[in-house]
Chain A
């Protein structure tokens, strides 16, 4: 079966702009989590969506938001981009919320803010 699909793979944006990233989970998976990966901070949890509801949220400013659609696809949005938002954004899907059995990750979207 198809894996977790993230689009686009690469993105270059200017400071102050906003960006939307997309994630399609594995078919049948209803939970989607987002992580930010940077060399300095490692993997930082952004938020988790399950059945179109945000179930958990990490310690990120309100500029970072997300949503989930009825088909479980998820988008995350970052407004008023800052240079420090440059990172690899990873989406991870699982069958259920707060799963104990680990995630399936996508390949990520590499965002560069200039």
Chain B
């Protein structure tokens, strides 16, 4: 089946930028998503990008898509301790049901 890969952990200092990376295998992916999960909570949709876009910016969040390499990234500018959470990449393609990565734990140090 289709696969979505993310690194497990990322540690950054408060005020720095964070970049969370994701790769996927489904060449028919049409939408790609970033979700955030805080402890004890469900997943919160942060942003999504359509596959014909290269970049999408929303306040401190920048999503970059390299469709040729099937690589998606989420950049968080001026990372705060409140950004500490697990970030999930997901893609939706021919199967119509999103496939989620395992999540990247972002740890922000003061």
**A33-56 interface with B by 8 A CB criterion:** 33, 35, 42-43, 45, 48, 56
A86 contacts B by Cβ under 8 Å: no
- The winner among A42, A90, A108 for most chain B CB atoms within 10 A is A42
Contacts of A45 in B (CB 8 A): 97-98
Q: Which residue numbers of A lie inside 8 Å of B, CB to CB?
A: 4, 6, 33, 35, 42-43, 45, 48, 56, 58, 90, 92, 98, 100-108
Check if B42 sits within 8 Å of A108, measured CB to CB: yes
| 3 nearest A-B pairs in the assembled complex, by CB-CB distance | A105-B42, A98-B96, A102-B45
Contact A56 to B97, CB < 8 A, known contacts A90-B43, A101-B48, A105-B42: yes
**How far apart sit A53 and B102, CA to CA, in the bound complex (Å)?**
29
Q: Which residue numbers of B lie inside 8 Å of A, CB to CB?
A: 30-31, 33, 35, 40-45, 48, 88, 92, 96-98, 100-103
Contacts of A101 in B (CB 8 A): 31, 48
- Chain A contact residues: over half helix, strand or loop, or mixed? strand
Contacts of B88 in A (CB 8 A): 43
Check if A104 sits within 8 Å of B96, measured CB to CB: no
Residue from B31, B42, B48, B103 within 8 A of A106 (CB atoms): B42
Check if A100 sits within 8 Å of B44, measured CB to CB: no
**How far apart sit A33 and B98, CA to CA, in the bound complex (Å)?**
11
- The winner among A48, A56, A98, A103 for most chain B CB atoms within 10 A is A103
